[in-house]
């Protein structure tokens, strides 16, 4: 069964900034952090897990219906931190501002998926872009080192970009890390052109 999730892409410019200021920055290189590759950077809206082949078309219809019900909107990557906390960090993230439109889109997807028999996510949706995942012994990382990484990311300026598409992505797990393949995309309504997604 394919392993699926629903996400929105980030702009090419934002990816380039992350590569230059994070992925290629020796200041934030830490052996306990597994960085997300440039091609895998995205904002997850809902993780579906393994989905029976017969239900994949249904998921596409959910993505389509949600996309046609929401206008495109602008967001900006801003701030940084870790989940769940600094004592036991597991995920290094960049925040999303403003989060309102993204939360409405995610909430709509969640309801549509639940109505079609998919499990509801009980955790509160916290809009973010995952930058890296910390290994199981990540809690042993010195707080000072982690603070340096977080502060470095916080100081990065990202220009706003337009979210104008939702993607259904298949994740294939490999020893080298997950491989993502977009199997369906749906444009949002009233696509904005004042901010270029470049």
70 part of the active site: no
Residue of 95, 128, 125 lying closest to 111 (CA atoms): 125
Q: Kindly report the CA angle at 96 between 37 and 167, in degrees rounded to 5? A: 60
Selected catalytic residue, list 128, 139, 157, 181: 128
181 part of the active site: no
C-alpha dist (Å) from residue 59 to 54, 101, 116, 183: 10, 21, 9, 11
H/E stretch holding 39 reads none
What residues contact residue 26 under an 8 Å CB cut-off, 6+ apart?
none
Helix, strand or coil, per DSSP, at residue 49: strand
Q: Report the distance separating Cα 106 and Cα 170, nearest Å.
A: 18
Active site residues: 42, 128
């Amino acid at each position: 069964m394919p392993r699926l999730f629903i996400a929105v892409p980030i702009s090419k410019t934002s990816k380039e900034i992350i590569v230059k200021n994070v992925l290629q920055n020796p200041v934030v290189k830490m052996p306990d952090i597994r960085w997300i590759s440039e091609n895998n950077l995205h904002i997850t809206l809902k993780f579906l897990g393994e989905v029976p082949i017969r239900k994949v078309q249904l998921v596409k219809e959910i993505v389509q219906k949600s996309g046609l019900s929401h206008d495109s909107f602008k967001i900006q990557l801003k701030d940084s931190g870790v989940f769940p906390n600094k004592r036991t960090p597991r995920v290094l993230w960049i925040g999303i501002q403003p989060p309102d439109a993204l939360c409405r889109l995610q909430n709509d997807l969640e309801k549509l998926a639940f109505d079609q028999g998919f499990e509801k996510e009980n955790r509160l949706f916290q809009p973010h872009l995952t930058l890296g995942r910390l290994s199981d012994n990540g809690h042993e990382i010195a707080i000072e080192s982690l603070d340096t990484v977080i502060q470095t990311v916080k100081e990065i300026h990202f220009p706003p970009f337009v979210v104008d598409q939702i993607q259904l992505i298949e994740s294939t797990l490999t020893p080298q890390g997950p491989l993502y393949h977009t199997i369906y995309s749906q444009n949002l309504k009233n696509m904005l052109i004042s901010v270029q997604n470049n």
